[in-house]
Structure 1
């Protein structure tokens, strides 16, 4: 009996991407044990981002993402990521070994996140926007999950949080290996061969280019915001209002609700209007947070929950629009390339944001504001095409 397709992929994505921010969920204990500050925590996060970028570039430029079964790549990479994450928990003794192992986690995730998107398109291309919304919703919950594990675990050592994420990633590998690839995205007869670097031609397609530019603006804000959430909480009126791990889980995890809601709306409006609307709401929250960070805790929490829901609600729609714009034989490579370049953008905003947050405080949110503003402007050609 075949596994239910979309639920299997999205739950596997939830489990697999729990590796991504597992170290950030243990930030307080890790910073204490290793004697590091926010800037070094940002370096550990950026090591994951750099590994992901290099991995996705290799998958994209070599065409590996379209040469082999996506389900097999996903499964192998999820297991490798679980091993690297477990090694960080058990054997890393400082920034030197820690950076190398977080890089390995990011490299492995290059075979999990974009290949998960390709699996969705290979099974249900007719409802890719809605299904990808569920997938990115699970990515968001996966990002928040270690914070939830940290909260639920109470006095667990920080290593236990990371090891839990590794176990979940292995379960993800088993699920996707059992599911296999969908019947769509088969190479067409007479399609151009998968030459080295062929994926770069995707940027000659105006609709792909507009979607990719919107995605790059979105990425400037998203991962830096997720990285800074515990620090935003600590520097606002929410400090002491509730456990930081519980608040972080709620603020990041509510992005799953935003993704799923946006997916339902996109079935009526299309993906471009949903993406632009989400970026506009996120930009407004980003602008308001420094002004309201010391307001009454319920006000600050409400603002951050809206921000958390909107900051990622646009993400699946960039993937759906880009996949739709590309020839089927390069979809996996094109999504991997878009991810690689988008995550290169995140490295700059994460490094900059974590370097200045102690001096700037809540005002560091304004550093993230140009991302959603410029991303929404880049999407205007697709918005015009979406109008009746």
Structure 2
């Protein structure tokens, strides 16, 4: 049994938090940008999706080329952290054009492909056993990183949008450097000696991989659309009830609570297994999709409590799906499997985000989140069904 150095997991977690803070940095200041640069409100959905699209293209290329399995993942992580930091800084250019805005968000997403799945690959190289627990903390760090720009924007630090961008870019670069210096290649890393262009199709012939992957896809249909449109729900609730809930602060809190649930789910998975944790969390968040109109009709404290519970449930399954994916394949394909599943999962997020962006102009806002239940329903079905195809 290989004894791990005590600093390894904390450094991976800290770096993952720091480097994923760029993910929603543009989203957190989007309202300020649209006012400052006189962009129309219709651009919001495209900006939200552009970072996802960049991540999809990045993970597709990283997966096909098997980057995380053929090269040092720590080095890949650091280089992508530096490039994501620079891409994020494009948002503070004076007189930013629509093209430059889209390019900044797209390139940030592209380089995050070398951070999020590669961070999970690094954890898998260190934790042959207890990976569900390790990934629980790691994905929790991702969720906190996602919430961080909203939390900054909801405080006095966020009075100027440039502050959000400068802070997130700085800690991203520092996080990448820390991981490269302090986390060498793991003891369970198996290098893939050559490029295998047929690795992806072969993975989907594996029943356990398919079940985990399709469960994850259902989870992703819901997750990012829920995060992206939570500010819309809070803003609508404020307008309907004359409340004064801080939209950025409470968006950050709701997302951040998911970080704690990821860590808690990782600990629970040690006792009941990743599959049960994922099934319970996905079922709970799916139910909340269906009852969301009732949540939006409740008094302010109960509405916030219900939305916070949703923020907890919607992420708790994510690291457990990653564990199920990583555990279903051979060591030399773990990085490719995680990257490929992320690629497809994030492609699905674009569909759900664009769908909700379209529906918000057609149906009442209180009905907007019901279509997200499609993902959890299909995801749970794939998890509990003993035979797929």
Question: TM-score scaled to structure 2, two decimals?
Answer: 0.93
Q: Does 1:355 align with 2:346?
A: no
Q: CA deviation at 1:367?
A: 1.7
Decide which moves more: 134-143 or 21-30: 21-30
The whole-number CA distance in structure 1 between the counterparts of 2:149 and 2:319 is 22
Q: CA deviation at 1:239?
A: 6.4
Please list, as runs of the form range in 1=range in 2, the aligned pairs for 1:2-151 lying within 5 A after superposition: 4-91=7-94, 93-151=96-154
Q: Which runs of 4+ in 1 moved over 6 A?
A: none
Equivalenced residue count is 381
What does the per-residue CA deviation read over 1:52-103, in whole Å, with 9 as the maximum and x for residues that have no partner? 1111111111112211000000000010000000012225613221111110
Partner of 1:235: 236
| Secondary structure of the corresponding residue to residue 375 of structure 1 | helix
* RMSD between superposed Cα atoms in Å: 2.0
Q: CA deviation at 1:24?
A: 1.2
Please list, as runs of the form range in 1=range in 2, the aligned pairs for 1:184-203 lying within 5 A after superposition: 184-187=188-191, 193-203=194-204
What does the per-residue CA deviation read over 1:193-221, in whole Å, with 9 as the maximum and x for residues that have no partner? 43223233111110000000000010000
Please list, as runs of the form range in 1=range in 2, the aligned pairs for 1:326-341 lying within 5 A after superposition: 326-341=329-344
Please list, as runs of the form range in 1=range in 2, the aligned pairs for 1:262-273 lying within 5 A after superposition: 262-273=265-276
The whole-number CA distance in structure 1 between the counterparts of 2:339 and 2:355 is 25
Q: CA deviation at 1:278?
A: 0.2
| Secondary structure of the corresponding residue to residue 316 of structure 2 | coil
Please list, as runs of the form range in 1=range in 2, the aligned pairs for 1:157-306 lying within 5 A after superposition: 157-178=160-181, 179-187=183-191, 193-237=194-238, 240-306=243-309
The whole-number CA distance in structure 2 between the counterparts of 1:196 and 1:32 is 46
- Going from structure 1 to structure 2, the CA distance change for 1:193 and 1:68 (only over 3 Å counts) comes to closer
| Secondary structure of the corresponding residue to residue 244 of structure 2 | coil
Q: Does 1:378 align with 2:382?
A: yes
Gaps of at least 5 residues in structure 1 are 384-388
The whole-number CA distance in structure 2 between the counterparts of 1:82 and 1:359 is 37
The whole-number CA distance in structure 1 between the counterparts of 2:351 and 2:32 is 25
What does the per-residue CA deviation read over 1:254-301, in whole Å, with 9 as the maximum and x for residues that have no partner? 001111111111000110000010011101111111122031001100
Q: CA deviation at 1:381?
A: 4.3
Question: TM-score scaled to structure 1, two decimals?
Answer: 0.94
Gaps of at least 5 residues in structure 2 are none
What does the per-residue CA deviation read over 1:313-367, in whole Å, with 9 as the maximum and x for residues that have no partner? 1000111011011111111011100000000000011111123224431211012
The whole-number CA distance in structure 2 between the counterparts of 1:131 and 1:155 is 32
Decide which moves more: 146-155 or 261-270: 146-155
- Going from structure 1 to structure 2, the CA distance change for 1:358 and 1:297 (only over 3 Å counts) comes to farther
The whole-number CA distance in structure 1 between the counterparts of 2:173 and 2:193 is 36
| Secondary structure of the corresponding residue to residue 195 of structure 2 | coil
